[in-house]
Structure 1
């Protein structure tokens, strides 16, 4: 249960990375925002003693930098300067998008007195100013267009009473509208895998993931009666098959090891030769975009790190599906 929540509202991000994994594009990977939380925590001023445990992201606006031609979309690419020989440099495809997001960070006090409203406002404002100079998902944080300062950062300390806590969360949810938050739906992926295996025992989780990641058009044949002659005839209708309600999307959720863990410095050209190194590949799951007004508690939209070092799994988790089952 979250006792303190830091709200950094309406951050305008320009040219964020829209290629979230080798197989998905659009909204940046949630791991990019977890990195923001970690960098912000590591650079806390000495007089602010807080621990950041989890992060939630509400997207208010997204503008992928793409051009459309029929059913095909292509990224806007930059023309780089010529190389040292004077020839045209190769184009490296980079996907970019403009975003407006609000970040919610679960905060734990580590000796910091958060009982004073003045102290909480001071901390929220200082951290909001600090994040203005950071890179988020590879993009630059732009100055706010909120000249009337309607969207202010806030550090909320939830009341111990459940009734007051619910009222605080209701007020906060209204500040997050309009927008959508990404949550994890491992449960739907597992359920759909079981459904496909009942039809075909060779079906895999990848089949279920691909089936839920695309629009499946199917033909339905109906028996209808002609109003004039009374004869029964067949009518064909095409529709989109949606196994589950909601706005479901394929998402990367972390990395899985494909090699042993090498000691520091053993692998040449590693980014940091002072830490252990391991080759990994992306892990995928299913996500759902949910409006903030549907969340029962702040924990529902929060993402946190849950690694399994023995199995070489480094991934993110979200507890929204557990709340739905309660």
Structure 2
């Protein structure tokens, strides 16, 4: 299968400064912290369904910008989730505690949209009213299981219709970046995972991608000798920047079963299959380092042949295109 790329979009919808309370901090079986991109692409789909097919906006991709977070944990070196005590059972005994990781978020979202014919020809006032309606509808939903609190920002949602030329679109995105700072944008860094694998294989030829991912996701304690004394140093993988382990989707571990043939599913109208999480690496970058809206947006893809359901981000591809363009211009 060829490498997927971001579908063509007609507009960007900026939802500023959302306060989310008690979002899910357990982003995958092997990681915890800020919710991953699958949480936001799922919320994007729920938002489009809530608005309805007649609304005229098709949500294609979403950009994630974090302005702050507060994990609900305690402890010094070892962090433990703050857990709630459940009510007693019918017989008066204490119920079991189910571990729930929670995090408070302050974030902005940027949606990539495709407009129908009527919305493409709509006035700026109409688009502005649509943006406000999307903001009100979003407030009735949840983000990664967390509740959206009433807005405290003076900024309002904005729908930006993209220009035709690439230079004009770049100018529009530069103006948008001002409203995304201070903060950090989440981008994909699959390239760092593969380059680190090549580094590991120089000393350990049988190293795998899992070894490279684990080495980039943990603190490694390495002994060094100084005048006969052993000194332990902490090192986390290689590279620079705020690199994080990132769940990016799901891979099938079973065939696709027909609707209604598997007991205990959510409904009997949708085909179902069993999956496991897919992991890669991500990086938090200041928005001023992004020069193209394609570097920011995450979009869902599906490969029926391999059964891979994955969120992708074109940060590296857009960056390479930018460098090639600069080289040709020079």
Map of 2:16 onto structure 1: 9
Matched, 1:78 2:84: yes
Offset of 1:239 from its aligned partner? Answer: 5.7
Distance 1:263 1:79, change over 3 A: same
TM-score (norm 1): 0.90
**SS of 2:98 mapped into structure 1:** coil
Residue pair 1:60, 1:180 contacting (<8 A) in 2 also: yes
Deviation of 1:178 after TM superposition, in Å, equals 0.6
Mapped partners of 1:249, 1:325: distance in 2: 22
- Among residues 292, 299, 304, which one is paired with 1:309 in the alignment? 304
**Equivalents in 1 of 2:229, 2:94: separation in Å?**
60
Q: What SS does the aligned partner of 1:208 have? A: helix
Question: What's the counterpart of residue 318 of structure 2?
Answer: 323
Query: 1:2–1:298: 8 Å Cα contact kept in structure 2?
Result: no
Deviation per residue, 1:220-249 (Å, 9 max, x gap): 5689xxxxxxxxx99978463552111110
Per the alignment, residue 217 of structure 2 pairs with 213
2:254 pairs with 1:267: no
The Cα shift of 1:164 comes to 3.0
- Greater helix fraction, Structure 1 or Structure 2: 2
Q: Any stretches of 5+ residues in structure 2 without a counterpart? A: 1-7, 322-330
Would the aligned equivalents of 2:221 and 2:232 in 1 still touch at CA under 8 Å?
A: no
Gaps of 5+ in 1: 224-232
Could you say if the C-alpha distance between residues 242 and 275 of structure 1 is closer, same or farther in structure 2, counting changes exceeding 3 Å? Answer: closer
Q: Secondary structure at the match of 1:72?
A: coil
Assess, with a 3 A threshold, how the Cα gap between structure 1 residues 291 and 75 changes in structure 2: closer, same or farther.
Answer: same
Aligned to 2:172: 168
* In structure 2, C-alpha distance between the alignment counterparts of 1:129 and 1:180, rounded to whole Å: 25
The range that moved more, 211-220 or 180-189, is 211-220
CA change 1:319–1:162 in 2 (3 A) is closer
Supply the distance in 2 between the matched residues of 1:195 and 1:285 (Cα, whole angstroms). 17
State the match for 1:228 in structure 2: none
Determine helix, strand or coil for the equivalent of 1:202.
Answer: coil
Counterpart in 1 of 2:284? 289
Inter-partner Cα distance in structure 1 for 2:289 and 2:145:
30
1:299 corresponds in structure 2 to 294
User: Which residue in 2 is equivalent to 1:64?
Assistant: 71
Report how many residues are paired: 313
Which structure is larger by alpha-carbon Rg, 1 or 2? Answer: 1
2:102 maps to 96
- Whether the aligned pair in 2 keeps the contact of 1:102 and 1:176 (CA below 8 Å) is yes
